[in-house]
Structure 1
Amino acid sequence: MACESVRAIMDEQALMGLNPNADACYRQRALAYFEQLKESQDAWEVCAEALAKGIYSDDHVKFFCFQVLEHQIKYRHAGLSAVQQQLIRETLMKWLQAQLMNVQPEKPFIRNKAAQVFALTFVMEYLTHWPKFFFDILALVGLNPHGVDIYLRTLMAIDAEVVDRDILHTPEETRRNTLIKDTMREQCIPSLVESWFQILQAYQQSHTELTCQCLEVVGAYVSWIDLNLIANDRFVNLLLSHMSAEDLREEACDCLFEIVNKGMDPVDKTKLVESLCQVLQSAGFFNVEQEEDVDFLAKFSRLVNGMGQSLVLSWTKLSKAGNVKVAAETLRALEAKVPLMLKLLVHEDDDISANIVGFCYDYLHVLKQLPLLTDQQKNNIEAIMLAVMKKLTYDDEYNFENEGEDEAMFVEYRKQLKMLLDRLAQVSPELLLQAVRRVFDTAMQSWQTAPFMEVEVAIRLLYMLGEAMPASHGAHFAGDATKTSTLQDMMRTLITSGVSEYQHTSVTLEFFETVVRYDKFFITEPQHIPSVLMAFLDHRGLRNSSPKVRSRVAYLFSRFVKTLHKHMNAFIEDILTRIQDLLELAPPENGFPALLTSDDQLFMFETAGVLIVNGESPAERKQALMRSLLSPLTDVFRLLLAKLPQEADEERQAALADCLSHAVGFASRTSKAFSNKQTVKQCGCSEVYLDCLQTFLPALSCPVQRGPLRSAVRSFLHRMIICLEEEVLPFIPAASEHMLKDCEAKDLQEFIPLISQITAKFKSQVSPFLQQVFMPLVLAIFEVLGRPAEENDQTAALEKQMLRRSYFSFIQTITGSGMNEVMANQGAENIERVLFTIIQGAVDFPDPIAQKTCFIILSKLVELWGGKDGLVGFPDFIYKHIVPACFVAPLKPTFDLSDAQTILTLSECTLTLKMIHLKRGPEFIQFLQQEYLPSLQVSPEITQELCQVLQQPDVKVLKNYMKAFFQRAKL
């Protein structure tokens, strides 16, 4: 290379910026220098030379040089000359040779980067310029530890580039990778395997980290090379000797796992697993009770899991193939592993247990398919059940108040155990029922003295039966007599044993969860409802000292009441009295922490509503109860609303607004209790809700905290439109007027669905109001859309797009509800203004959702106003604006005909043309032939063709034709 000294060429100043502690300006310069070297045709050669000659001792500079080299190979390899490619090969080998002489190896991050560069070079050149890649490296490194380290790292980097299935490759890369593997199998794999054997043998005592690296390589490569090269006596014996070495055993386990996992013929796989098991068993590895190293046992458990699942797979394949004799042998081999599986499943360390769950699950699936179970198999099922029940139990260390990572892991592990329980229920529901009953009865008899985890798991198991046993919920207490009576007995015991008094949150929660899970039990035995209601309402439930329990119970109580309200008639007023203080709106200056959060209170209000509405009292009583439920809310609301504008502090304002919003939300939530059968009118509650409405509406004109207040009142109005129907109408004009004042895009966007709901529900009833509000609403929208926004303000742009969509949906609702008089009565100038916005929406904005809506509107308007007795001047508008829109929009470059949403827009655009033909007939065809299409330079033949298709009755043919027409036009 023509350069006196590399030092002279490398930018020493820029290199200083590579140090992580360097100043920002130096770092900036280093970055710019990196870009410069990457892009240059030959400047990277400076880095190559620096590496080959070992000029720099600074680690960051060496890493930098490798990065530059990596970029050349990855992105510019094809453009390098033969000499430059040769230079890369020589650089790498010279660098590697230098490593053999070093006393101290390079830092791991440099070795990893070097390995990546070797691997990239290999991928680019192995099939063409460097077929002897591995032989060259092996010849150079021999058994030099530093060299072997780079060789093994390179093999792992090659695995990542060529084999790793988690990395997405292009079809071209996949073909290349397949060719690389085929060539390697032919030319060098036996030599590589031999080198691995030598490394494993030579270094097992002296360099355990190299041995571990080598085991990782064997595990990675075994999936695609000839297994006989590895699964032979000398290799397996060597691996087994590693299994006895403390520093190697975990990696040896992983390596054996990969060998066992390799796809194979079922008979060969069974033989391999069996021979491996024999050797492991005679070496004493099956005595897991004596093993104290939990990390190793977790790996060993994973290996046994792999072996077990492999045998299950072999058995399944052999059974399907009808190979009865060999399948029976495989099943025997499988059964022989069950005692070991059980030891691992029941191990006190959850990681060890979790690693064997897959095998356990698959084994149960095998048993499920057998026509008859032997006594031994039944014993195995029972042993698995007992193991699952034992492992579901919390340990002493579990922190219920402050759940961290360990707790989250146990919750995940419990989910795996639940899968096993579900599978057990499929294999033998009777056995599961008996086993749970035994555990449950024992715990319930001595719950006062038993530790919490035993009591919790007993109730938990009863709960889990609900999901594990077929025929869920109501059917638990009908049908199969054994199951029904067993579950009923257990539920009776749960309620009458007094266990709900147990002083531990986990037991308390499990009690309430189970009561609600089996709420249908109380339909068959309603005499137990009062005692359970008391548990919900007293110190065990809603008054519990734990906020977590109170919160969950608020939700569970609402579910319990929803199911069983028919059986609670006698207790309604008592319940309402007892929960009265939980229904209070906590004002912000209270200072006392409330028993329930506002989210929990929502459930309480809904529950109160359900009790009142579904009770058997006469309408007047229901009205009185509902009034006493909602009056405290409206009273506090008036007080706080009066206070709000006088409050100067923004934080206090926000707190008050929050409180006001909660009041509206609570009132709204009570209305969920009404159904089609029990309407607000029938219950005599209309008046109560109208009073609420009257109280809440003034919040719309509050000068501060407009956003949250408007949002709350708007939601309430949505509910009242459903509940009060036309009784709500007198309130709408004033509410609308307030909501249209000083609007933001978001306000309007949320207001439009309300108006659309009213339009769709009441149609002609609200026509006068809509005619009145139509232009003020439209003008408010135009004003917001017309406001200037920052060029890069994505949020503002999105808000405007959403508002535009809402606006067009609103017009669509009006035209689609057959209320054309609303627009027709707006005066010619206003109508024209609105029509132009719809044309603009169809053509100018690249938003297919809005465009589609606009074409639906245009089509509808043509249908309403485009005929002989339509709106004056509208036919002229059709020819001047609607027809051009139908052609200009699809011709725009932003109109993407490969996009599904855009195709729907084109479909509506085509239907608009069809509607114009329907309404205007031959006059329209004549306009297209003589005026419009010639103005677009469409040839007479195509014009003729389009007009013929347009006159045919089949719309589908027209849609396909128009798509082809625009595709052609855009070429």
Structure 2
Amino acid sequence: MFVQQQHQELDLSRTGVNLQMACQSAGAVMDEQALLGLNPNADASYRQRALAYFEQLKDSQNAWEVCADVLAKGLYSDDHVKFFCFQVLEHQVKFRHAALSAAQQQLIRETLMTWLQSQLMNAQQEKSFIRNKAAQVFALTFIMEYLTLWPKFFFDILSLVGLNPHGIDIYLRTLMAIDAEVVDRDILHTPEETRRNTLIKDTMREQCIPSLVESWFQILTTYQRSQPELTCQCLEVVGAYVSWIDLNFIANDRFVNVLLSQMSMEELREEACDCLFEIINKGMDPVDKTKLVESLCRVLQSAGFFNVEQEEDVDFLAKFSRLVNGMGQSLVLSWTKLVKAGNVKEATETLQAVEAKVPLLLQLLVHEDDDISSNIVGFCYDYLNVLKQLPQLTEQQKANIEVSRRVEATSSGFCSSPELNFSLCVKAVMLAVMKKLTYDDEYNFENEGEDEAMFVEYRKQLKMLLDRLAQVSPELLLEAVRRIFTNTMQAWQTTSFMEVEVAIRLLYMLGEALPASHGAHFSGDTAKTSALQDMMRTLVSCGVSGYQHSSVSLEFFETVVRYDKFFIVEPQHIPNVLMAFLDQRGLRHNSPKVRSRVAYLFSRFIKTLHKHMTAFIEDVLTRIQDLLELIPPENGFRALLTSDDQLFMFEAAGVLIVSGESPVDQKQALMRSLLTPLMDAFRLLLAKLLQETEEERQVALADCLSHAVGFASRTSKAFSNKQTVKQCGCTEVYRDCLQSFLPALSCPVQRGVLRSAVRSFLHRMIICLEEEVLPFFPAASEHMLKDCEAKDLQEFIPLISQITAKFKRQVSPFLQQIFMPLVLAIFEVLARPAEENDQTAALEKQMLRRSYFGFIQAITGSGMNEVMANQGVENIERVLFTIIQGAVDFPDPVAQKTCFIILSRLVELWGGKDGMAGFPDFIYKHIVPACFLAPLKPTFDLSDAQTVLTLSECALTLKMIHLKRGPEFLQFLQHEYLPSLQVTPEIAQEVCHVLQQPDVKVLKNYIKAFFQRARL
């Protein structure tokens, strides 16, 4: 009915004959034993056989034809066999189409059409997964053949299926599969595929889109009552295709009236809504877009769709909200374009159209269903952005963002009447955001799942609106929050936790909505600072910290810490807040989640305000003493805080001790009393670990030992350098810690955990003890280099690099002593065999190689050439060759760049006349070739940014060689090395000329162009 019958060029009467001939050639026999493996419940051997059979059919030249026979003749009723056969055909079309003979290509076309014809006559439809796979094969065949072999693809299908619902179903699924392959922007395509897809769309526009659109109209009108599922499929197709076909085919009275009528049909309305959304979303001229949106709005409004309070179907309203959001954002985008183009009249009309949608926007924004509200946030945000750009808010715009205080009191709804007295109103958007921030009764605070995660994300959207509101009218936002906060705090004892939490949350959110430099919210603008100060004073003095709900407790402490500078202005409130942190409201709260977060916030609070806490230091330390205990694994006691939480407690304790005004001996005593229990426990636990044979217990003991070291390390965060450690008299206690912890390095079990912990402590001690830590390094290094894994070495090298960079020549003797043992340990690990497909091992080796080169760079970069120079000729050569190998052979631009930096530095150190004997020879034999061979490697990707940086270092190495060897180097290049690479004399001379230029940038650009030409 859609197209004239003469378009049906596939002669289906001949199909059976052709298929029969094809099947005779293929033997028409399938491996029945292999097919048993297609059943999901089949055992592994059968499944393996089925997989092997699939591979056999895929790769064969004609054995796959048996699958065509099975599908065309309906030889199997088993769904898995049918699916299997379609998979085999799919592979032939997708990967072997060009290799198929013309007869085989024809066979596939005829198979598909014969199968489709059989669907028209079947009383029962195939399972949806089979229909989807069939549609994929139809779509792939279309893509391969539409432009050449099968230009009447759609005419053939439409002529065959007519208005048969089973046929229409396959047709629509095929259209969606074509959309996925040709149009879907989420799928990455090669440039060739993109060109092909563009050509397909252009050809479809010319040849068949009118017929397709007509078929959609017929389907929508024929089946809207009898086959709603089919109609919904068709609406989805229209929505998908409208983005690239001529909009006039769809955006006309005939078509839109059908869509609008379906908006009133319960089973179709959601899909109709989505279809209208796609129509609205289509890119077009801003004036035309405004007209389209406005005409659609008028029809929707007259049909009663804007009366959202009367609609009970939340699923439909969620779709409708998305549609309104699309219309609103389209209008805002049109307004932006028109303003930019200077079209004042059209821009004004479009802005009026935007304003007219605001009442509807507000109704949807405050809807109790969060999905409905969330779907309109984009329009709301864009509207606020428009207001921000306008020079001054008009009374109409103020009215659009107002709501009566009476509405707020009753929470019955919102009003946007411009006649409302502005003094009786607050911003409706603001109030909507505040209302929607509220948790509902079902929120599970202790076991947050998917619903809770979605609400957290929704809150982030609302926060964006609040931030935008602050940019539009900060005074109104501040006034509104202050009023809500004050009213709630006055009656917090009798107010629900949801309202109390939101009131505090709003105060918290003001901190980002009204930003201040470095958190200085309490200086500058008097109106703002006064309001914030009043609210903070109320928060910490009204007793709300004792509210019995975890969400309120958390919000209280989060807000206190966000505005910690308030306590510098009004330090008299510190004792009350400290007590809240320390008692059952904070660190001893019955919720583990609250305790954990409060531990972190307590640490931040202490770090900011420690100068104001001198009078409370010892009292605070006494009160948190039980939270600073290392809990041994055999204790069985359930600690209030996890070991991660305790890290913050130890850091806070360290800051309190160090920052106090007490005498040095008292600070020393306090720090020793904090760390001695850790050292004592460490020694006992290490002794137990050495005797323990059960692995599970070993792991628990090693973790506990690691925690002890971590806690001690965290206390040192209170110090910035050796000077502050010395001033507090704490040098000795940290040295004692080192002596207590270092024996763990020789522990034969759980080495990884223990070494990692001690290494971290040594990193901290380099900063805190400086040269006083050096005597501990030789023994520590010796232990850490025994029985190493790649990860051990990878973490050890930064430690050595740290002391190298910090102490330079002071550690030269130690570095000379450890250099070769460390290098040999690295070589040994890198030489270990690994499984070919072991990606983890390969990555570990790559990272270790990078660390090794980084270590050599640290040595050479610190000017300590004696460290390498004193290793003996054989060892030096061995190391140098690894650097050459790293520069040339490993396709890792990060490591290659480091290697060229090292080579350049070595040339600078040893390449001159008074350099190392024999090194100039090494330059010419190995370094110069490396500079040319590395960029010529196929793996050296000159389009990669990191590789280009490597090439720059390569160029700088050549420059350094010229600097050190002068004309001799140019002579070698021009007359020996470059000719050996078949470089013409002219180019060789050019290279030498550029090397003599003072501007390094010229050399870098030339070298890049040189290698780009060389690789053509």
Asked if Structure 1 and Structure 2 have the same fold, meaning a TM-score greater than 0.5 normalized by the shorter chain, the answer is yes
Q: Name the CA shift for 1:324/1:917 in 2 (closer, same or farther; >3 Å).
A: closer
Find the aligned partners of 1:894 and 1:317 in 2 and give their Cα distance.
46
| Counterpart among 640, 652, 656 of residue 701 in structure 2 | 656
DSSP 3-state at the match of 2:290: helix
* Corresponding letter in the other structure for 1:766: V
Report the equivalent of 2:95: 75
Find the aligned partners of 1:163 and 1:938 in 2 and give their Cα distance.
48
Q: Does 1:294 align with 2:314?
A: yes
Q: Does 1:396 align with 2:448?
A: no
Report the equivalent of 2:541: 496
Report the equivalent of 1:723: 768
Report the equivalent of 1:170: 190
Paired residues of 1:6 and 1:49 also in contact (CA < 8 A):
no
**Could you tell me how far 1:460 is from its partner in structure 2?**
0.6
DSSP 3-state at the match of 1:680: helix
* Corresponding letter in the other structure for 2:697: R
Report the equivalent of 1:374: 394
Paired residues of 1:51 and 1:65 also in contact (CA < 8 A):
yes
**Ranges in structure 2 where 5+ consecutive residues have no aligned partner:** 1-17, 402-426
| Counterpart among 572, 577, 589 of residue 527 in structure 1 | 572
Question: Please, which moves more after superposition, 106-115 or 943-952?
Answer: 943-952
DSSP 3-state at the match of 2:634: coil
Find the aligned partners of 2:87 and 2:787 in 1 and give their Cα distance.
58
Deviations 1:720-776 (CA, angstroms, capped at 9, x unpaired): 111111111222222222223333333233222222221221122222222333333
Find the aligned partners of 2:89 and 2:884 in 1 and give their Cα distance.
57
**Could you tell me how far 1:476 is from its partner in structure 2?**
1.9
Find the aligned partners of 2:319 and 2:564 in 1 and give their Cα distance.
44
DSSP 3-state at the match of 1:589: helix
* Corresponding letter in the other structure for 1:344: L
* Corresponding letter in the other structure for 1:289: E
Find the aligned partners of 1:185 and 1:962 in 2 and give their Cα distance.
49
Find the aligned partners of 1:378 and 1:90 in 2 and give their Cα distance.
67
| Counterpart among 311, 317, 326 of residue 346 in structure 2 | 326
Report the equivalent of 1:354: 374
Report the equivalent of 1:629: 674
| Counterpart among 22, 25, 28 of residue 9 in structure 1 | 28
| Counterpart among 192, 195, 204 of residue 184 in structure 1 | 204
Q: Name the CA shift for 1:510/1:42 in 2 (closer, same or farther; >3 Å).
A: same
Report the equivalent of 1:417: 462
Q: Does 1:778 align with 2:797?
A: no
Q: Name the CA shift for 1:33/1:249 in 2 (closer, same or farther; >3 Å).
A: same
Q: Name the CA shift for 1:61/1:492 in 2 (closer, same or farther; >3 Å).
A: same
Q: Name the CA shift for 1:305/1:37 in 2 (closer, same or farther; >3 Å).
A: same
Report the equivalent of 1:669: 714
Report the equivalent of 2:610: 565
Q: Does 1:825 align with 2:858?
A: no
Q: Name the CA shift for 1:378/1:658 in 2 (closer, same or farther; >3 Å).
A: same
Q: Name the CA shift for 1:309/1:871 in 2 (closer, same or farther; >3 Å).
A: closer
Q: Does 1:90 align with 2:110?
A: yes
* Corresponding letter in the other structure for 2:442: E
Q: Name the CA shift for 1:953/1:230 in 2 (closer, same or farther; >3 Å).
A: closer
Question: Structure 1 length as normaliser, TM-score?
Answer: 0.93
Find the aligned partners of 1:133 and 1:486 in 2 and give their Cα distance.
71
Report the equivalent of 2:525: 480
Question: Structure 2 length as normaliser, TM-score?
Answer: 0.89
Paired residues of 1:218 and 1:255 also in contact (CA < 8 A):
yes
Paired residues of 2:720 and 2:768 also in contact (CA < 8 A):
no
**Could you tell me how far 1:406 is from its partner in structure 2?**
0.9
* Corresponding letter in the other structure for 1:487: L
**Could you tell me how far 1:459 is from its partner in structure 2?**
0.5
**Could you tell me how far 1:936 is from its partner in structure 2?**
6.6
Q: Name the CA shift for 1:164/1:921 in 2 (closer, same or farther; >3 Å).
A: closer
Find the aligned partners of 1:842 and 1:151 in 2 and give their Cα distance.
58
Deviations 1:124-150 (CA, angstroms, capped at 9, x unpaired): 333344333333333332222222222
Find the aligned partners of 1:337 and 1:941 in 2 and give their Cα distance.
73
Paired residues of 2:280 and 2:330 also in contact (CA < 8 A):
yes
Q: Name the CA shift for 1:344/1:783 in 2 (closer, same or farther; >3 Å).
A: closer
**Could you tell me how far 1:549 is from its partner in structure 2?**
0.7
**Could you tell me how far 1:872 is from its partner in structure 2?**
4.3
**Could you tell me how far 1:511 is from its partner in structure 2?**
0.4
Report the equivalent of 1:31: 51
**Could you tell me how far 1:315 is from its partner in structure 2?**
2.6
Q: Does 1:239 align with 2:281?
A: no
**Could you tell me how far 1:514 is from its partner in structure 2?**
0.5
**Could you tell me how far 1:811 is from its partner in structure 2?**
2.8
* Corresponding letter in the other structure for 1:761: K
**Equivalent residues in 2 for 1:499-898 (5 A)?**
499-675=544-720, 679-843=724-888, 845-878=890-923, 881-883=926-928, 885-886=930-931
How many equivalent pairs are there? 971
Q: Name the CA shift for 1:462/1:910 in 2 (closer, same or farther; >3 Å).
A: closer
Report the equivalent of 1:306: 326
Paired residues of 1:466 and 1:472 also in contact (CA < 8 A):
no
Q: Name the CA shift for 1:818/1:268 in 2 (closer, same or farther; >3 Å).
A: closer
Q: Name the CA shift for 1:204/1:667 in 2 (closer, same or farther; >3 Å).
A: same
Find the aligned partners of 1:930 and 1:214 in 2 and give their Cα distance.
75
| Counterpart among 140, 144, 150 of residue 170 in structure 2 | 150
**Could you tell me how far 1:576 is from its partner in structure 2?**
1.3
Find the aligned partners of 1:307 and 1:929 in 2 and give their Cα distance.
69
Question: Please, which moves more after superposition, 814-823 or 546-555?
Answer: 814-823
Paired residues of 1:759 and 1:813 also in contact (CA < 8 A):
yes
Report the equivalent of 1:339: 359
Deviations 1:689-713 (CA, angstroms, capped at 9, x unpaired): 1121122222222232222112111
Q: Name the CA shift for 1:962/1:234 in 2 (closer, same or farther; >3 Å).
A: closer
Paired residues of 2:654 and 2:718 also in contact (CA < 8 A):
yes
* Corresponding letter in the other structure for 2:821: P
Find the aligned partners of 1:596 and 1:398 in 2 and give their Cα distance.
24
DSSP 3-state at the match of 2:779: helix
Alignment root-mean-square deviation, CA: 2.9
Paired residues of 1:613 and 1:678 also in contact (CA < 8 A):
no
DSSP 3-state at the match of 1:109: helix
Report the equivalent of 1:285: 305
* Corresponding letter in the other structure for 2:189: H
Q: Name the CA shift for 1:584/1:944 in 2 (closer, same or farther; >3 Å).
A: same
DSSP 3-state at the match of 1:19: coil
Report the equivalent of 2:40: 20
**Ranges in structure 1 where 5+ consecutive residues have no aligned partner:** none
* Corresponding letter in the other structure for 2:646: Q
Find the aligned partners of 1:829 and 1:174 in 2 and give their Cα distance.
57
Seq. identity, %: 87
* Corresponding letter in the other structure for 2:246: D
Find the aligned partners of 1:238 and 1:278 in 2 and give their Cα distance.
16
Report the equivalent of 2:9: none
Paired residues of 2:900 and 2:953 also in contact (CA < 8 A):
yes
Find the aligned partners of 2:531 and 2:304 in 1 and give their Cα distance.
44
Deviations 1:263-303 (CA, angstroms, capped at 9, x unpaired): 23333333332332232223222222222211111112112
